[in-house]
Amino acid sequence: MRHFLLEFITGGGLSGQALPETLVREGEIMIQTLLNELIEAGYADIALTRDKRLDSCEHKAKQYIIRKSIEEELQDHIRQSDIAWLIAPETGGCLAKLADVFIRNENVFIGSSPDSIRIATSKLLTSRLLSEAGIKVIETRTMDDELPFSQIGWVIKPNDGVGGDSCYFIDDEKRLAEILAEKKNNNFVIQPFLDGRHMSMSLLVYDDAVRLLACNEQYVDIKEGVVSLTAIGVNECLFLKDEMMSLATKIVSKISGFAGYIGVDMIEVKNELFVLEINPRFTTAYAGLSESLGFNITKKILDTFLNKRLPDIDITDAVPIKVQI
């Protein structure tokens, strides 16, 4: 049984473009975790693509070096495998477009439906849909809409951005007006800044059912107005597991088609959870899950798709693990 792995950033998706250091670092963390855990689970026939500018992976996986465009050979790699794993950013519809390619060419695709990915890709659409379902969200508006009220400041970011890419905090209205004028036609959205605790939850979803894998702390740094994620405390927020499980169930019931690993970013304010965004793909927290839970989470995800049902998972005794970025 051959597995094909594509981590877009390190796997040649940006061939001919600059390689953002932060995204490369996060991509390396995720692809190495996936590779290690598949090997640990007993799978030896593994193939992946690799950007020519990066060193080869140390493992004995078949590595295809991408020198020009990954699109030229991607379909062949997918068709030659039995199971395919995709890690890619949502930006520019990248993840949804690749999911379409994988689904058309693969027997078993470990990932969500393109339609659910397209919804989650848009922070604006996600906010509106969840709000309609009675789920607390961070108010999200377009750059030409009325400014949302805030006593602290605002955050602007791409509507389809990934991680902290191009995410800015502004607490001066004059400076905000200047940036709004600059970014108005660049698909950016604006949100009021909430003074709370940054968190995320890691989920395993299949057939519109969900298991909670982790309740995470997010360590966020703001320097000179630039917002960045520096570390993830996997299962450091277990005291909110019941609230997070309830929220996860509501999200999955509202947006159909999620499958596999899903990450949800939130801010906790006075014991209430406000959803920031949904990531329909592996996130950096994935790298600490197996150690935290005491079992191979990659095998659990794979078994979910092979057996077509979710496993029973209890995170009560999970151990907190910090993943540095």
Summarised one tens digit per residue, pLDDT across range 248-265 is: 999 999 999 999 999 999
Overall average pLDDT of the 194-220 stretch = 97
Query: What band does 225 get if pLDDT is binned at 50, 70 and 90?
Result: confident
pLDDT at position 226, please? 84
Query: What band does 105 get if pLDDT is binned at 50, 70 and 90?
Result: very high
pLDDT at position 318, please? 98
pLDDT at position 69, please? 85
pLDDT at position 312, please? 97
- Residue 208 pLDDT greater than 90, yes or no: yes
**CA pair distance 198, 191, nearest whole angstrom:** 15
pLDDT at position 224, please? 83
- Residue 142 pLDDT greater than 70, yes or no: yes
- Residue 122 pLDDT greater than 80, yes or no: yes
The class (CATH top level) of 196-324 is alpha beta
pLDDT at position 186, please? 73
Domain with CATH 3.40.50.11770 in the chain: 3-110
Average pLDDT, the chain: 93
The domain 3-110: what is its CATH number? 3.40.50.11770
- Residue 172 pLDDT greater than 90, yes or no: no
Query: What band does 90 get if pLDDT is binned at 50, 70 and 90?
Result: very high
Query: What band does 181 get if pLDDT is binned at 50, 70 and 90?
Result: confident
Domain with CATH 3.30.470.20 in the chain: 196-324
Query: What band does 189 get if pLDDT is binned at 50, 70 and 90?
Result: very high
pLDDT at position 163, please? 64
More confident site: 233 or 73: 233
Q: Which CATH architecture has domain 139-192?
A: 2-Layer Sandwich (3.30)
Indicate the pTM of the whole model. 0.94
Domain with CATH 3.30.1490 in the chain: 139-192
Side-chain-side CA neighbours of 242 within 13 Å: the count stands at: 2
